[in-house]
Structure 1
């Protein structure tokens, strides 16, 4: 029972990134992409990659040599073995503590299947032997962190976007709106736009490059139609494409990013662009 009085560990289980640390601290102890990497090729020489599975910053460094897989898709775990490996990595390599000694606060997206939560609880209790577990919606915790207990939270992550009304610390389930269109869909749309431009990013590691391009160069246009006209006129005129930027690729080449910078993020406001029938991000807030 003494373990229940130890500082709880908070694990923010995101589709794209995972954060973990101790409750009460200002910043998480660790923050890394929530993917698992496995070598593309067999190790045949001494000095090759040691290990079969790579997680965290090491996986990020070696991503060009790895097949990358995300165990979470749209906020739902699709590979529990890899999810367990990531949790084990958090305890062993990042927090350097025993899972049996700390209660756990685990976050999840709203309107997730009950089976997802049950399996997570089963693994944490039976495999990691945690003394206590509490699951909470990410949006509610975000509001707490801002010092408020009432408000509407719009949380657009890598796999899921949702609008959650919270009153006096409690989410109102009947009014929660969720769409499975988020950052990863923007990345895939940007990947398609760049392919049309002649730049092909095919492998899972190259997709991470596209994600970085998105994060460093993309922006949201307040008036997409007006923005489109400005790009068209600047491209036709002398010295056009004033808003175009160059992104340095790992091999030293520079990729010129044009109107793709604002076209890619438009997919979260108009998901039909990427073939989804979900409402836009702005619409779920209004609803």
Structure 2
């Protein structure tokens, strides 16, 4: 809720639909289950993940997820609550418009704002074992037993992972390894700052904030600092702040912004939607 210091509820973005035509006790008048309950009952359910790589791909399930959040988790009526959502940087226009349409027409929210922000097994491996190498060339020289880690699969089998654990995150700093000819994280940060007025560049280098779940990779902050020191002018003070609640940074930022009186003029109201349609998003 706006103005609060953290989210009240965090749930998995998944809906479960019965494999067979039988009532589920947990469903309570609805023929689907959401979040952790769906994952717990995965054997009897078809699991649908409405969000893939940050983009909504199953709108019916996304609506069910939002309905569950409003009515069951938050216990609020959306028709009485302005809603702010975040979106990925390359969110398609049609997705923005569809989101606004659902919020206004299905949930009858009084005001809405969509703000830009810069597979369960794989995510768990990434969060539990992957890391950023400070000097990736030295990682290649390590003995296999120095980097080898075990991961136990749900079926009890154990897999062994080695160089992949740092190579996953290495793409953030060297995307050319995947044939992507774009600058890495360090160069993007430096380039963005250098494009700003020279009067504020020094302050920007000293106020870098990491947000988002990916920034929680062990070693990312040190690697970014090392490379920025090489890219910035000699003697430029650099400070990187990484919150321990980095995966909630976007939520916390939205909570702060929406509580400001100056944000009221930013809301898209239901009247705006009625007048301009989905193009207002």
More helix by share: 2
Q: Does 1:94 align with 2:6?
A: no
Q: What TM-score, normalized to structure 2?
A: 0.57
Q: Is the 8 A contact 1:246 1:254 kept in 2?
A: yes
Q: Which residue of 1 aligns with 2:141?
A: 229
| Greater RCO structure (CA 8 Å; 6+ sep) | 2
Match for residue 210 of structure 1?
122
Distance 1:111 1:89, change over 3 A: same
Matched, 1:24 2:6: no
| Structure 2 residue 169 is matched with structure 1 residue 265 | yes
Specify the alignment match of 2:148 in structure 1. 244
Whichever structure has more strand as a proportion of its residues is: 1
Determine the C-alpha separation between the residues in 1 that align with 2:24 and 2:113: 43
Given that 1:38 and 1:52 are in contact with CA atoms closer than 8 Å, whether structure 2 keeps it comes out as yes
Q: CA RMSD in A?
A: 2.9
Q: Of residues 45, 48, 54 in structure 2, which corresponds to 1:75?
A: 54
2:132 equivalent to 1:220: yes
Structure 1, unaligned runs of 5 or more: 1-21, 139-161, 163-206, 236-240
Greater C-alpha Rg: 2
- The equivalences for 1:1-287 within 5 A come to 22-39=1-18, 41-42=19-20, 52-63=31-42, 66-138=45-117, 162=118, 207-230=119-142, 234-235=143-144, 241-274=145-178, 276-287=180-191
Specify the alignment match of 1:180 in structure 2: none
Going from structure 1 to structure 2, the CA distance change for 1:42 and 1:218 (only over 3 Å counts) comes to same
Q: Tell me the SS of whatever aligns to 2:126.
A: helix
Deviations 1:188-241 (A, max 9, x none): xxxxxxxxxxxxxxxxxxx422221111011111111210111xxx23xxxxx1
Aligned residue-pair number: 189
Q: Is the alpha carbon distance of 1:282 and 1:66 closer, same or farther for their aligned partners in structure 2, counting shifts above 3 Å?
A: farther
Which residue number in structure 1 is paired with residue 274 of structure 2?
Answer: none
Q: Is the 8 A contact 1:43 1:49 kept in 2?
A: no
Report deviation, 1:105: 1.6
State the distance in 2 between where 1:38 and 1:281 align: 40
List runs of 5+ in structure 2 lacking aligned partners. Answer: 192-281
The verdict on how the C-alpha distance between 1:83 and 1:275 changes in structure 2, with shifts beyond 3 A counting, is farther
